[in-house]
Amino acid sequence: MRMADTSGSISIIGVPLHYGADRSGVDMGPNAIRGANLGGRLEALGLSVHDAGDIHVNRSLGDFGPVSKLKYLHEIARVNADLAGRVTRELEQGRMPLVLGGDHSIAIGTVKGVLQYVKRLGVIWFDAHTDVNTEETTVSGNIHGMSLAVLLGWGHPDLVAVAGAATKLNPRNVAVVGARSVDPGERVFLKQQGVRVFTMHDIDRCGMKQVMEEALEAVTDGTDGVHLSLDLDGMDPNDAPGVGTPVPGGMSYRESHLAMELLHDSGALVSAEFVEVNPMLDVNNKTAAAAVDLIASVLGERIL
């Protein structure tokens, strides 16, 4: 199995997409995170930082009429196909992809791109939501709530087909951490698929250290690397107010840092994305700054 030596080289890829959330502002997330001194923090860690710019997103919706219950399906599929190709190329050049959203629908392209290079991939999904709705179960039609289902091979054919329909995750190597808002149809799906879900109840009861140890055991079992998909709404809204779908009672700032530190210490991380920062809803750029803090932690920054 080919593995990229990404220990010292990071490629930042912005995806200013808001169509998956159907809410303006999250498309400004990539530049808000960059503007919170992301590059400086990573360079201070001794990392070589390459900013690959942003994936192009069409701003005119004139060509994207309703074709299904899913909103903006064609443009979301196109952007994710472009992103998947970019992610694969960065890995081939020995750089770890660090993708900045944009809404969580971009995980389709990020993970499918990594899967072209790391065939046996584990995924840790930090999120208040589980994102396993489908066209049959969604109420909103917003694709950012379907991305994990698509990556497991379930969903609209145009989305599943991104980078090849056979390119998908093994559900036993996926762990959701921090869930506290799960739809009825998602509960059924998760149980049927056998995805490990660590809710806020689990974190409260067992502590983040034990939860992360169990999550890492699942995502590293027979895999060649781990991808981190981190939605800032996984954190408590007091610590990350600038998100589109805040849910009270989330992970604290310190719990989130500990999780990142433990993931870094595992040595398994091959790629990451940080999504759903919405500067229009933020307070003094607090959420973008939190994203940079967590990125620095998962890439090796420590107190001492």
Output the pTM of the full model. 0.96
- How far apart (Å, rounded) are the C-alpha atoms in residues 243 and 101? 12
* 20 vs 141: CA distance, rounded Å: 9
In a domain, 1, yes or no: no
Whether residue 4 is contained in a domain is answered as no
Phi, psi of 28 (to 5 degrees): -90, 0
Q: Looking at the domain assignment, is residue 303 inside a domain?
A: no
DSSP letters spanning 222-246? T-S-EEEEEEGGGB-TTT----SS-
- What is the CATH number for 128? 3.40.800.10
Q: What is the pLDDT of residue 62?
A: 55
Is residue 59 domain-resident? yes
C-alpha 300: how far from chain center: 19
CA pair distance 145, 165, nearest whole angstrom: 19
Contacts of 171 (CB under 8 A, 6+ apart): 152, 193, 194, 195
Which pLDDT belongs to residue 269? Answer: 98
d(CA 187, CA 166): 24
Q: Enumerate the active-site residues.
A: 104, 127, 129, 131, 144, 231, 233, 276
Q: Which domain holds residue 176?
A: 9-298
Residue 156 located in a structural domain = yes
Backbone angles phi, psi at 181, to 5 degrees: -140, 95
**Residue 60: its pLDDT value, please?**
79
Binding residues for Mn(2+): 104, 127, 129, 131, 231, 233
Overall domain count for the chain: 1
Question: How many Cα atoms within 13 Å fall on the side-chain side of residue 247?
Answer: 18
Nearest residue to 281 via CA among 72, 26, 22, 7 = 26
Angle separating helix axes 107-115 and 73-92, nearest 10 degrees: 40
DSSP code of residue 275: E
Q: Is residue 106 part of a domain?
A: yes
Q: Is residue 137 one of the residues assigned to a domain?
A: yes
Query: What local confidence, expressed as pLDDT, does residue 166 receive?
Result: 95
Residue 3 lies in a domain: no
**Which residues face 101 on adjacent strands?**
15
Give the angle 304-178-231 at the CA atoms, nearest 5°: 80
Question: How confident is the prediction along the chain (304 residues), in pLDDT tens digits per residue?
Answer: 334 445 699 999 999 999 999 999 999 999 999 999 999 999 999 999 999 999 999 987 654 445 568 999 999 999 999 999 999 999 999 999 999 999 999 999 999 999 999 999 999 999 999 999 999 999 999 999 999 999 999 999 999 999 999 999 999 999 999 999 999 999 999 999 999 999 999 999 999 999 999 999 999 999 999 999 999 999 999 999 999 999 999 999 999 999 999 999 999 999 999 999 999 999 999 999 999 999 999 999 999 9
